[in-house]
A and B are shown apart, each in its own frame.
Chain A
Amino acid sequence: MDGPHDLGGAQGFGPVRFDPDEPLFLHDWERKVFGLTMATSTVGLYNRDENRHARERMPVDEYRTTSYFEQWLVAMETNLTELGVLDASALRERVAEFLEEPDLEVRGKDQPELFELFRDTLEFGASLDRPAGPPRYSVGDRVRAVRDAKPGHTRLPAYVRGHVGVVHRVDGSFVLPDTNAHHEGENPENTYNVGFSAHDLWGKGDHEVLVDVWESYLEPA
């Protein structure tokens, strides 16, 4: 889908506000959002692709006026209530309660074994590589990125759709986000690193843009 997240080449943005000394988290609630996201994904309450898709489904005006970690918070609220892990009305009640009494403490049991599980994930990763058939394309092949936007989650940036590029690298096969985000199966596919010329993409520029894509995002050119 053409979501508000798909920003490559979008017009109208000003300078990047670069500050090398900025802290990782500007507010304590951002720190908590990061930790909660890592914790809830470690225990598998939702998968990575549906987490991304929950952010991408935000209305454009809301996405554009919402800070990065607030987008993460929205994604958790969306997924945990839609998947039935938490009840939306119970969540609203608790928000009202904490707005009324901000100093109320969160109480509950420690779960050291959950941190051990996170440690394992941290060390060994959560790779989504799965076996697939032999790759359809080879290094040097000319390929065209498909023109049509799929209705749901996808990882094909809009700015390369319909453009011709050259395969630079074949990267192995991974779970297809397009179906995994919607619980329609893992459907692993080979992935490729494909180079596009800036002049072709934007009508100007002398650089090369390299994009990583799943096999079904490509057709022979």
Chain B
Amino acid sequence: MSDDAELRARVKALEALLVERGLIGADTVDQIVDVYESEIGPLLGAKVVARAWVDPDFKQRLLEDATAACSELDIGGLQGEKLVAVENTESVHNVVVCTLCSCYPWPVLGIPPNWYKSPEYRARMVAEPRVVLAEDFGLPLGEDVEIRVQDSSAEVRYFTLPQRPAGTEDWDEERLAGVVTRESMVGVAVL
């Protein structure tokens, strides 16, 4: 691995040449990254999940066509042009991976965390999900639970619809959204 001083110099050199040649603006990089740091993230996916929990019609639309359902909440766009939501239940547990790179539903969950992009996760989740979920994520699933691993290898970007936690029957949508985690929408956690 290159040391940080060399990496910093390589990145700065690239930015300097692109900016000096007018290919990008001096302000562009920070403006773009700021969007992903402040506007887009798993809070958006949490809204979608909470809506599905309180509105059975919305849930049905979400599972049939997640792209259209999410756009009802003004969620969609780059790296989420075709979204699919898969439902986790008592008997079926879905988990999402991208073995070839790091495909992830950006408009719903933001940009992916490091563990999702790691070679360990990409190598092992398709081959031994029961072990990885139990040992690395603390999620032991019963033998009667069917596991489906979704490898995001083409254009669809997946997220999971977790089960609504017990004891939240009288909660409103906003309060429900507050308990939905990024991990539960990738399928490495339940709530």
Give the interface of A toward B (CB within 8 A). 5-11, 13-20, 22, 24, 26-29, 31-36, 38-40, 42-43, 45, 52, 55, 64-68, 70, 73, 76-77, 80, 85-86, 90-91, 94-99, 102, 104, 106-112, 114-115, 118, 121-129, 155-157, 159, 171-172, 174, 191, 193, 195, 198, 201-202, 205-214
Contact check, B82 vs A108: say whether CB atoms are below 8 A apart: no
Counting chain B CB atoms within 10 Å of each CB, the highest count among A26, A66, A99 belongs to A99
A148 to chain B minimum Cβ distance, whole angstroms, is 17
CA distance in complex: A84, B160 (Å) = 42
Chain B 10-52 interface residues, beta-carbon cutoff 8 Å to A: 10-33, 35-37
Q: Is B121 an interface residue (CB 8 A)?
A: yes
CA distance in complex: A158, B23 (Å) = 37
Knowing A16-B132, A29-B4, the reply to whether A94 touches B17 (Cβ < 8 A) is yes
CA distance in complex: A20, B114 (Å) = 10
A172 to chain B minimum Cβ distance, whole angstroms, is 7
CA distance in complex: A199, B38 (Å) = 43
Contact of A13 among B20, B33, B119 (CB under 8 A): B119
CA distance in complex: A211, B137 (Å) = 23
Pairs of residues from A and B, 9 with the lowest C-beta to C-beta distance, nearest first: A111-B25, A8-B99, A35-B29, A212-B154, A108-B19, A94-B13, A127-B81, A207-B147, A98-B9
Residues of B close to A8: CB separation below 8 A: 99-100, 122-123, 126-127, 151
Contact check, A39 vs B115: say whether CB atoms are below 8 A apart: no
Residues of A close to B113: CB separation below 8 A: 20, 22, 24
State the interface size on chain B (CB cutoff 8 A).
84
Residues of A close to B26: CB separation below 8 A: 106-111
Contact check, A86 vs B147: say whether CB atoms are below 8 A apart: no
Contact check, A39 vs B28: say whether CB atoms are below 8 A apart: yes
CA distance in complex: A97, B1 (Å) = 21
Tell me how many residue pairs across A and B have CB atoms closer than 8 Å: 289
Contact check, B81 vs A129: say whether CB atoms are below 8 A apart: yes
Q: Is B156 an interface residue (CB 8 A)?
A: yes
Give the interface of B toward A (CB within 8 A). 1-2, 4-33, 35-37, 76-82, 99-102, 110-111, 113-115, 117-124, 126-130, 132, 135-137, 143, 146-156, 181-183, 188
Contact check, A39 vs B120: say whether CB atoms are below 8 A apart: no
Contact of B1 among A65, A86, A208 (CB under 8 A): A65
Contact check, A18 vs B137: say whether CB atoms are below 8 A apart: yes
Residues of B close to A11: CB separation below 8 A: 123
A217 to chain B minimum Cβ distance, whole angstroms, is 9
